[in-house]
Every structure is written in C-alpha cells, then in structure tokens.
Chain A
C-alpha cells in the first residue's frame, strides 16, 4: 500500500507547509466583505437622505434627498421653501443633474408651470406668503443602467430675481 493517496503531498496537504498564509488571506477577505456591509449600515452605500440648506433674506431653501443612490432605487427629494418675506412668483430652477438618467415618478404638488431654461428645468410654484412653508416632493427611480457622479444645483427665484442657489454632490452607484 502506498504511503499516501495519489495526488496527496503530505507536507502540503497534511502538514500544511507553505499554506498558513491562506488562512489569513481568507480572514482578510471575510473582513473586506464585513467592512462593505458595515459601511452600508453607516450609510456609505447610498439611500440615506441628507439635508442641505441655503438662506437669503427673503427665503430659506432646504433640500432633503439621498446624496448617493444605486441603480433601480426608488427615492424622494423634498424641497422646502420657507418664505421670510412674501414671494410673489416663487420659481425653482433645477439643473439637468436632477433629471439625467432618472425616472420621475411624480412631482407633488404639480407646479403651476414648467419650462426649460438653458437645459435646466424651471418649476413655477406661485405665491408663497411670508412666514409660510412650501414643500415640493419629487419621487424618483434611478434608471438601472445609470452610473454617475455629478453636481446638482437648485436655484430659487422670485420672478426675475435670483434669491439663492444650492449645490449638492450626487453619486449613482451601479
């Protein structure tokens, strides 16, 4: 009878000579998988909404939306306008980053009017009395094939007058 089965090298397969590093490699790789899950728990893999605000004398604009999303994800962006003075003709101008590669499921409430200005989308919201709050919801779904990193800009105007502008970084993971 042979000392060991064919194909078995005792030093390598029984005594594990030269194979001790493999266990550590496996542990490190398991650690990498765990780290990715941990990062996701802390919101680094997208979907967690964050709020950014900009204030000017007539109004404050706050945007609450995820800054990182993934392909196919449903999410919401909430635009809150707090008028410190009456806004006769509040207008929100969103650059193309808010729309490229994204499906708009709905916009609530519907703006009084919509248009395009140099590639940006213009929402005319109408009168916002002083001290009141106007909230606009946009419900999105990311087109599954979209992968991107971009800057989103939202500008609040009152008629022809530009009041404030707000920028956010936005990432779409595959």
Chain B
C-alpha cells in the first residue's frame, strides 16, 4: 500500500511543480534542462520505490502513475471547468504584428526568445505575424498574415 501512496504523492507533487514552473521552462530542452530532467526522475524514483527492487514494486508504482495520468486526462476531457486548472490556457503574445509585452512578462518570456521561436518557424519578422499564441504545451504557434 505504501508504494501506491508514494507514487500517487509523487504524481501529484510533480503535477503541482509543472503547473507552478510555467510552460516555457518545461517545453525547452536545452542540455541543462535535459540533465535536470534526468536528475529529477532519479530523485522521484528514490522517493517512490526507495529500496524496493522488486517487479511487484515496479508494477505498483508505474501502474499508479499511469492510472493517475489517465484520471487527470479524463477529468480534463470530461469537465471543461477543470481544463484550465489541469492543462492551463493559451496566451496570445502577438496580435497583428503587435507584441503584447504584458503577456510576455507574465510568462517570463523575452522579446528575443519570441523572435527566436519565430525564426524557427521560418518567420523573419514579428511584423509578419497575425497571431502568436503560447500554447498549453509551452510551444509557440505562429499564424502569419496573409
């Protein structure tokens, strides 16, 4: 029973952390982020399984986390009101070539980062962007002007 509770707590805590950390931090995978991700995984594993090396322990921990993930996605699918809480909401960053500074600040994004993301989408100037939206995944989608 203990391992199920630990896995459930780990899932909830990581879910809470990811919601607190913000989207941009999680969507970028620079080398440092990648290493951090591996370290975080290792720390979580120690807290969940501790010194349990059994296959039973693996089944219990992985099964619990999978069930909670399914549960969270079902809640998000089933209840519209919970979706912003569970997944977040998109934020418009550029409206008809005009950068919305307040929205950038809110997500701790700089203009340079926005321009970099635009270049990655083969857009050389934000003036050519009709809409730029920071999606709930942390990716920025660009819709060019006609």
Say whether, besides A8-B133, A72-B50, A72-B51, A14 and B20 are in contact (CB < 8 Å): no
Q: Is B44 an interface residue (CB 8 A)?
A: no
* Chain B neighbourhood of A145, CB < 8 A: 2, 50
A71 to B48, CA, bound (A): 11
* Chain A neighbourhood of B131, CB < 8 A: 4-5, 8
Contact among B52, B103, B106, B133 with A5 in the assembled complex (CB-CB below 8 Å): B133
* Chain B neighbourhood of A33, CB < 8 A: 17, 20
Nearest-Cβ distance from residue B98 to partner chain A, whole angstroms = 10
Contact B92 A8 (CB under 8 A): yes
Mask: chain A, 59-73; 1 = CB below 8 Å from B; 0 = not? 000000000000110
* Chain B neighbourhood of A71, CB < 8 A: 50
Contact A10 B50 (CB under 8 A): no
Q: Is B89 an interface residue (CB 8 A)?
A: yes
Mask: chain A, 92-136; 1 = CB below 8 Å from B; 0 = not? 000000000000000000000000000000000000000000000
Contact among B19, B20, B22, B106 with A16 in the assembled complex (CB-CB below 8 Å): B106
A16 to B89, CA, bound (A): 10
Nearest-Cβ distance from residue B85 to partner chain A, whole angstroms = 10
Nearest-Cβ distance from residue B42 to partner chain A, whole angstroms = 14
Interface size counted on chain B using CB atoms at 8 A = 25
* Chain B neighbourhood of A16, CB < 8 A: 91, 102-103, 106
Contact A26 B20 (CB under 8 A): yes
Residues of A bordering B, CB below 8 Å? 1, 4-5, 7-8, 10, 12-14, 16, 19, 23, 26, 29-30, 33, 71-72, 144-145, 174
Q: Is B63 an interface residue (CB 8 A)?
A: no
Contact A13 B50 (CB under 8 A): no
Sampled A-B contacts (30; CB under 8 Å): A1-B130, A1-B146, A4-B92, A5-B131, A5-B143, A7-B90, A8-B90, A8-B92, A8-B131, A10-B92, A12-B89, A13-B89, A13-B90, A13-B91, A13-B133, A14-B91, A14-B100, A14-B103, A16-B102, A16-B103, A19-B89, A26-B20, A26-B22, A29-B20, A33-B17, A71-B50, A72-B50, A72-B51, A144-B52, A145-B2
Nearest-Cβ distance from residue B49 to partner chain A, whole angstroms = 9
Q: Add 7 more A-B contacts to A5-B131, A23-B106 (CB < 8 A).
A: A8-B90, A13-B89, A13-B92, A14-B91, A16-B102, A29-B19, A72-B51
A174 to B7, CA, bound (A): 13
A148 to B19, CA, bound (A): 31
Nearest-Cβ distance from residue A9 to partner chain B, whole angstroms = 9
Q: Is B16 an interface residue (CB 8 A)?
A: yes
A4 to B146, CA, bound (A): 13
Mask: chain B, 107-136; 1 = CB below 8 Å from A; 0 = not? 000000000000000000000001101000
Return the chain A residue nearest B5 by Cβ.
Answer: A174
Contact among B17, B95, B143, B146 with A14 in the assembled complex (CB-CB below 8 Å): B95
Mask: chain B, 134-146; 1 = CB below 8 Å from A; 0 = not? 0000000001001
